[in-house]
Amino acid sequence: MDGTLRRTGAALSLAAALAMASIPAATAAPAPAYTATFTADASCLLTVKATWKNAPVARVYLLWYQDATWIATSDTESPVNSGTIKGKTATFRFGPASASGTAHQWSAEAQFYTAAGAALEVADTAPVTVGCAVP
């Protein structure tokens, strides 16, 4: 009888070990991701879309640059120079800027924040060269 109990106990231990091995390990949450893209149309309306994944973004600030010089700030919670958040995208529009016979390099920096005001990340757009300017 003692041998039977040991064999039964060993079998149960083996079954428990096999069952535990088949349970998938907890996976880590996906890493947050942040991007910002800059476009300009023929009428010099400038647009930046700031997007995020897997992050608790509630507010986005946007700094506009012309020829590497800061010219304006927009905010998703400001009634002036505001952007809008829809889903996981903040959209900002500037202008239309003035058409210019000279090409200017435009870019923007998106700053992502939580509802409590904690900074999450900064994403820079790639520069866009267009014949639009702020005098």
User: Does a structural domain hold residue 5?
Assistant: no
Tell me the pLDDT band of 11, cut-offs 50, 70 and 90. very low
Specify the number of domains making up the chain. Answer: 1
Residue at 23 is within a domain: no
Give the residues across from 44 on adjacent strands.
Answer: none
Domain assignment present for residue 46? The answer is: yes
Tens-digit pLDDT profile for residues 73-95: 999 998 777 899 999 999 999 98
**Cα–Cα distance for residue pair 72/79, rounded to 1 Å:** 14
Instruction: Give residue 118's domain range.
Output: 33-133
Q: Is residue 12 part of a domain?
A: no
Tell me if 125 sits within 8 A of 108, measured CB to CB: yes
Residue 116 lies in a domain: yes
pLDDT at residue 129, rounded to an integer: 96
Residue 75: inside a domain: yes
Is residue 9 a part of any domain in this protein? no
Per-residue model confidence as pLDDT tens digits over 14-39? 455 545 555 566 788 899 999 999 99
Give the largest Cα separation in the chain, rounded: 99
Per-residue pLDDT tens digits for 33-59: 999 999 999 999 999 999 999 999 999
* Residue 128: band (very low, low, confident or very high) from pLDDT cuts 50, 70, 90: very high
CATH number at residue 84: 2.60.40.10
Mean pLDDT over 107-127 rounds to 98
- Of the candidates 59, 76, 60, 67, the one whose C-alpha atom is nearest the C-alpha of residue 109 is 60
72 assigned to some structural domain: yes
